[in-house]
């Protein structure tokens, strides 16, 4: 019975994301994370020692989210197991962005089909680059790059950290990701303050990005594309983004990358792939299908691993100290795994 404390929140939260996507108009943890980051940045991104202050702020915020959510879930599980499962499921739902990501990318292609200006406006919702001078093809390529990169950041990585550290690990990862998206830029304002946040994000995404590429090529039954991923994955300016992007470029037989404008500065990114061809709407539909397959594979991996590992070892919080017990010798409720964070 205790194994369902681990699996039920994952399944319920994932199904909710499939049905609803991001809840418009409802409070969202990431919005709160963003306000905390802005508060710290406005007060500490000035004067001397900006790198030190930025690193301290990043570590403090990540630990705050992890420890805070772990304690909250711990006491809620002690109060009522089903309330703990319900809150955990809601938090999993908030941490997954698969449905909204696909919805936004589809909207970019629909807008681009109507006019270039609409396409530029729509793609600006999901990319950080300047979109005002993008061509029609650049708009479409930007959307597909974002689809691949955010399959890792918005789906596979949160599920990976759930597998390792439960809901608190998932939430902590979302704080890491939000920090990077807000201050992890190499421009004059954020170069020093956001340096630590960017490096923490790189470390948190190192395995998930490569796992995402693996799941993508396995989802289409073409493991031979791993050679393509190995060739182009490390050519991206980011140590991680190139892997899911190269997987999608290999599957679609197209080319990503090239120069982009961020905050008025041109950033030259190496090309990923060598087939410079036109991108069509059917390419988007194929890419969306790949995302969905990879996501399902990751959910299955999580469930299998949680069942196998959870069936042997439970991490529980007995009093104030974590205790490892075998399932056969323990009659206590399993709450510790869920008390890991974002």
In order along its 342 residues, the chain shows pLDDT tens digits of: 477 888 999 999 999 999 999 877 788 899 999 999 999 999 999 999 999 999 999 999 999 999 999 999 999 999 999 999 999 999 999 999 999 999 999 999 999 999 999 999 999 999 878 888 899 999 999 999 999 999 999 999 999 999 999 999 999 999 999 999 999 988 889 999 999 999 999 999 999 999 999 999 999 999 999 999 999 999 887 899 999 999 999 999 999 987 776 656 677 778 899 888 999 999 999 999 999 999 999 999 999 999 888 655 444 333 334 333 333 333 333 333 343 333
pTM for the full model? 0.87
Rounded Cα distance, 65 and 165, in Å = 13
Question: Angle at CA 125, nearest 5°, toward 285 and 63?
Answer: 105
Measured CA distances, 277 to 49, 138, 141, 233, 273 (Å)? 47, 11, 11, 20, 11
Contact (CB, 8 A) for 58 and 193: no
Q: For residue 312, give the 3-state DSSP assignment.
A: coil
Q: Using an 8 Å Cβ cutoff, are 158 and 95 in contact? A: yes
Taking a C-beta distance cutoff of 8 angstroms, is the pair 149, 244 a contact? yes
Q: What is the pLDDT of residue 85?
A: 96
Report whether 200 contacts 90 (CB < 8 A). Answer: no
Residues near 243 by beta carbon (within 8 Å), at least 6 away in sequence: 152, 209, 210, 212, 213, 229, 233, 236
Neighbouring residues of 6: CB distance < 8 A, sequence distance ≥ 6: 166, 306, 310, 334, 337, 338
pLDDT for 130 equals 83
Q: DSSP 3-state assignment of 59?
A: helix
Sequence spans of domains, the chain = 4-339
Contact between 140 and 196 under an 8 Å Cβ cutoff? The reply is no
Main-chain dihedrals φ then ψ at residue 25, nearest 5 degrees:
90, -10
Q: Which DSSP helix (H) or strand (E) runs through 167?
A: helix 157-183
CB 272 within 8 A of CB 249: yes
């Amino acid at each position: 019975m205790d194994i369902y404390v681990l699996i039920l929140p994952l399944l319920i939260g994932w199904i909710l994301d499939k049905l609803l996507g991001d809840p418009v108009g409802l409070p969202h943890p990431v919005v709160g994370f963003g306000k905390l980051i802005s508060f710290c940045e406005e007060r500490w991104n000035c004067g001397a020692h900006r790198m030190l202050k930025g690193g301290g702020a990043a570590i403090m915020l990540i630990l705050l989210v992890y420890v805070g959510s772990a304690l909250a879930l711990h006491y809620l599980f002690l109060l009522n197991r089903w309330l703990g499962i319900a809150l955990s499921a809601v938090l999993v739902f908030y941490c997954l962005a698969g449905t909204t990501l696909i919805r936004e990318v589809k909207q970019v292609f629909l807008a681009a089909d109507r006019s270039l200006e609409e396409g530029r406006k729509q793609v600006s919702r999901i990319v950080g680059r300047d979109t005002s001078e993008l061509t029609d093809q650049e708009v479409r390529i930007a959307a597909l790059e974002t689809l691949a990169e955010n399959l890792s950041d918005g789906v596979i990585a949160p599920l990976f950290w759930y597998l390792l550290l439960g809901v608190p690990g998932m939430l902590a990862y979302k704080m890491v990701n939000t920090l990077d998206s807000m201050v992890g830029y190499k421009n004059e304002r954020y170069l020093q303050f956001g340096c630590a946040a960017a490096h923490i994000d790189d470390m948190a995404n190192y395995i998930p990005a490569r796992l995402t590429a693996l799941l993508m090529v396995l989802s289409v039954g073409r493991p031979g594309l791993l050679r393509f991923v190995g060739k182009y994955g490390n050519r991206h300016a980011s140590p991680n983004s190139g892997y899911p992007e190269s997987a999608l470029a290999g599957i679609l037989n197209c080319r990503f990358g090239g120069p982009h404008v961020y905050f008025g500065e041109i950033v030259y990114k190496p090309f990923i792939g060598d087939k410079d061809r036109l991108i069509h709407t059917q390419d988007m539909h194929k890419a969306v299908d790949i995302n969905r397959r990879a996501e399902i594979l990751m959910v299955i991996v999580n469930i299998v691993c949680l069942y196998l590992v959870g069936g042997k070892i439970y991490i529980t919080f007995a009093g104030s100290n974590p205790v490892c017990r075998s399932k056969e010798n323990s009659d206590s409720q399993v709450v510790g795994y869920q008390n890991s964070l974002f």
